[in-house]
Amino acid sequence: MKSYSVKTGPFRVRVGTSIAPVIENIALLYPGKVAEVMDDEFYDFHIDLTPPRSVRRWLKPQVLFFFDGQALFKPLPLNQAYALFEWGLNWAISQHAHQFLILHAAVIAKNDRALLLPGQPGAGKSTLCAALVHRGWRLLSDELALISLASGSITPLARPVCLKNQSIEVIRHFAPDAVFGPIVHDTVKGSVTHVKAPDSSIEQVDQKALPAWIVFPRYQADSKCLLSDRKKGITFMDLAELSFNYNLLGLDGFTAIDRLIKNCRAFDLQYSCLDEALSTLDKLNA
């Protein structure tokens, strides 16, 4: 098993694996961010992806995710190894990067003003995020909003965007030049793929942004595109629920969300037509 150094936003990850598709997809989707491991370097996270040491290596092959030498999750089919890397890295950041308030939200930016798209799975945030970053917005993150406890600024990750099921073909048609990883079927989330962050977003990964808007998207088939104001109290409670570490941070978490609410306009967005949703969100930055 060989080890690789992967730089993503403020984090350096040591990844050990001999699984060829994992290595190939990291190189494809993290261009310029993969290097040889240096023993004198500090790594925020140590991850290994390996097949079980049993007859399962040959009979219905599987993959295990190790964090700091410990297997954390149930094994998955071997063809889901790269997806497991992305999901496991999400877990590692959300469970350990407590220098930030961490929200379950996609984040994009224009002119260093950030738009947060919080939401539960199925709300359509990743589809919107992927479309917007291929129409001039900068990708900060698809899944994790990293909000500074000191300043309220958002630190970019610019990692690949995870798309599921019907969203895959929607974005493939919408952004034909986008770089897709392979599609994996029959996962717990259905069919899954990852889309590389645009080169411009990767190049600006060290450039923080200040939050300006919070938009809770909700895809609803055959609906009109409606953007409506949200009450700040409800938005506060929803963001606290969507935070990975609000309770752990205590007063710092409360202060961070309170500042976020005060500095942002908050909306609900109901949409079915992607172009209409993009046009509506573009007007926020006009």
pLDDT (tens digit per residue) in 238-248: 999 999 999 99
Q: For residues 130 and 270, state if they share a domain.
A: yes
Q: Name the domain boundary from 47, 70, 96.
A: 96
SS3 (DSSP) at 226: strand
Q: For residues 21 and 122, state if they share a domain.
A: no
pLDDT (tens digit per residue) in 207-230: 999 999 999 999 888 889 999 999
- How many structural domains is the chain composed of? 2
Q: For residues 56 and 115, state if they share a domain.
A: no
Q: For residues 130 and 267, state if they share a domain.
A: yes
Q: Label residue 118 by pLDDT band (50, 70, 90).
A: very high
Which of 118, 113, 105 shows the shortest CA–CA distance to 145?
A: 105
Characterize the bridge pairing of strands 210-219 and 265-271.
Answer: parallel
Q: For residues 198 and 221, state if they share a domain.
A: yes
SS3 (DSSP) at 122: coil
* Mean pLDDT computed over every residue of the chain: 94
Q: Which two tokens stand for residue 170?
A: 């929607």
Q: For residues 19 and 41, state if they share a domain.
A: yes
Q: For residues 82 and 108, state if they share a domain.
A: no
Q: For residues 110 and 249, state if they share a domain.
A: yes
* Phi, psi angle pair for 261, to nearest 5°: -60, -40
Q: For residues 141 and 236, state if they share a domain.
A: yes
Residues 6+ apart with CB under 8 A from 258: 236
Q: Name the domain boundary from 96, 121, 153.
A: 96
Q: Name the domain boundary from 70, 96, 122.
A: 96
Q: For residues 191 and 267, state if they share a domain.
A: yes
Q: For residues 60 and 138, state if they share a domain.
A: no
Q: Label residue 56 by pLDDT band (50, 70, 90).
A: low
Where in the sequence is the domain holding 19, given as residue range(s)?
Answer: 2-96
Higher pLDDT, 169 or 1: 169
Q: For residues 186 and 253, state if they share a domain.
A: yes
Is there a contact between 13 and 44 (Cβ–Cβ < 8 Å)?
yes
